[in-house]
Amino acid sequence: MILVSGFNVYPNEIEEAMSEHPAVVECGAIGVPNDDRGEEPKLFVVKKRQRN
């Protein structure tokens, strides 16, 4: 769970929404420290290969 300005943000919900994008192979969300909000989400994404 990521705590953003007092709100609970669940990484799996971010990952599920992002995984629906057709250019995304897989992704992972984490919380990183933020002085103003406590934490903020950071998303790591593996994109599908583009074909020429």
For tokens 């933020």, the residue is 34
Q: What is the pLDDT of residue 51?
A: 80
3-class secondary-structure state, position 11 = helix
| Number of other CB atoms surrounding residue 14 within 10 Å | 18
Neighbour-count burial for 15-32, b at 16+ CB within 10 Å, e otherwise: beeeeeeeeeeebebebe
Q: What is the pLDDT of residue 52?
A: 73
Residues of the chain with pLDDT under 70: none
One-letter amino acid at 22 equals P
pLDDT tens, position by position, 31-45? 999 999 999 999 999
| CA end-to-end span of the chain | 39
pTM of the model: 0.84
Q: What is the pLDDT of residue 50?
A: 84
Structural domains of the chain, ranges and CATH numbers in brackets: 2-47 (3.30.300.30)
What 8-state DSSP symbol labels residue 37? Answer: T
